[in-house]
Amino acid sequence: MSAKIFSPVTIGDKQLQNRIALAPLTRGRATDQGVVKDIHATYYSQRAGAGLLITEATSISDQARGWVGAPGIYTNEQTEAWKPVTQAIHEKGSVIFLQLWHTGRSSHSDFHANGELPVAASEIAITGEVHTPLGKKPYEVPHALTIDEIKQTVQDYKRAAENAKAAGFDGVEIHSANGYILDNFLQSKTNHRTDEYGGSFENRFRFLREVIEAILTVFPANQIGVRLSPNGVYNDMGSQDFRESFTFYIQEIAKYNLGYLHVMDGLAFGFHQLGEPFTIQEARKNYPGILIANCGYDIENAKSVIDAGYADLVAFGRPFITNPDLVERFKNNWPLAELSPPPTWYTRGPEGYIDFPPYQ
């Protein structure tokens, strides 16, 4: 059996010990002020057998908030609290990137002190209900960002990247997937704008382009990643032109020679069924750099896509919840612990978070 997945690979100037990544997993353990705790350092260091760790989605500003118990990276207190996490990972010899997040229209006015509406490309609400600090409520019709507000949000991304650098992260991943603000602009289903940020693929890509270029003033290109979800239905997404648009976006991202592109090609997170799935093979045709595949992989199909050269790494999410030593279990063919039930994923304390033992 091939062991290429357990071989080193380089991102930027960092050699990863293997080609397994910890996928971003929002777990809701931060304080109400978005500050991570001691248990975060324990949680990530338990999983530092992964060659690359990508943190849970982390809010870039107060406006970006939209998940109870999610961390932030826009205040001094938040930034300082991340330092023990990065230190713990570096002591284990691993590499950690912070995922930069703006929840966009999936947020709610309850998250914001003055009751401001969530924001989006256009005034189109998500169907269904959102968990807010005050309970479950229907999604609201978002405020469509003005051009000046877009420019301010780009600066929020830049400031968050500066804070991530100060906190000791090896790089940042720009979350442009799952219907959050940047994906909301990329997709024709949710972007009905008629200005320079809407219409053509080039215009819809403009916001993400400006974010990439702002962060390039903070981190070198090889310490920046981008995450996309061309097949995703989460947060009411899925556009008829998904194949053509995401092919264009991947080709444009490739021009920046970034550290990696992280593509949610698997269908375990839901599939819009608007055509054949957008595969990691398609991404590879348009992206010569480091590619991370993700979403529903097991060890066998992960080995297959890496051996075939379609992906350089595969990210695992839910298996890491109950298997902190997932890499060792894969290497030694040890059985995996069963996934805990969803109610334990987002509790606010250590239970269901750092209390899963390694294989005995």
Contact in structure between 236 and 187 (CB atoms under 8 Å) = no
Give domain status of residue 115, yes or no: yes
Contact in structure between 213 and 220 (CB atoms under 8 Å) = no
How many other C-beta atoms are found inside a 10 Å radius of the C-beta of residue 360? 4
- What digits encode the pLDDT tens for the residues 244-265? 999 999 999 999 999 999 999 9
Give the per-residue pLDDT at 341.
79
Give the per-residue pLDDT at 148.
98
Q: Which residues lie closer than 8 Å to 294 by C-beta, 6 or more apart?
A: 21, 23, 262, 263, 264, 265, 266, 314, 315, 317
> Which residues are identified as catalytic?
180
Average pLDDT over residues 327-348: 90
Give domain status of residue 284, yes or no: yes
Q: Using N-to-C axis directions, what is the helix angle for 147-166 and 201-215, rounded to 10°?
A: 30
Average pLDDT over residues 173-193: 98
- What digits encode the pLDDT tens for the residues 266-293? 999 899 999 999 999 999 999 999 999 9
pTM of the model: 0.97
- What digits encode the pLDDT tens for the residues 32-58? 999 999 999 999 999 999 999 999 999
Count the domains in the chain. Answer: 1
Contact in structure between 328 and 358 (CB atoms under 8 Å) = yes
- What digits encode the pLDDT tens for the residues 315-336? 999 999 999 999 999 999 999 9
CA dihedral 78, 84, 85, 88 (to 10 degrees): 170
Give domain status of residue 356, yes or no: no
Q: To which H or E segment does residue 284 belong?
A: helix 280-286
User: Closest Cα partner for 73 from 168, 195, 143, 152?
Assistant: 168
Q: Which residues lie closer than 8 Å to 114 by C-beta, 6 or more apart?
A: none
**CATH number for position 200:** 3.20.20.70
Q: Which residues lie closer than 8 Å to 320 by C-beta, 6 or more apart?
A: 22, 23, 25, 47, 50, 326
Contact in structure between 189 and 235 (CB atoms under 8 Å) = no
User: What is the domain extent for residue 329?
Assistant: 4-344
The pairing of strands 171-175 and 143-144 is: unpaired
Give domain status of residue 132, yes or no: yes
CA pair distance 88, 100, nearest whole angstrom: 20
Give the per-residue pLDDT at 1.
43
Instruction: Characterise 101 by phi-psi region: left (phi > 0), alpha (psi -120 to 50), beta (else).
Output: beta
**Which pLDDT band holds residue 347 (cuts at 50, 70, 90)?**
confident
Q: Which residues lie closer than 8 Å to 248 by C-beta, 6 or more apart?
A: 201, 202, 205
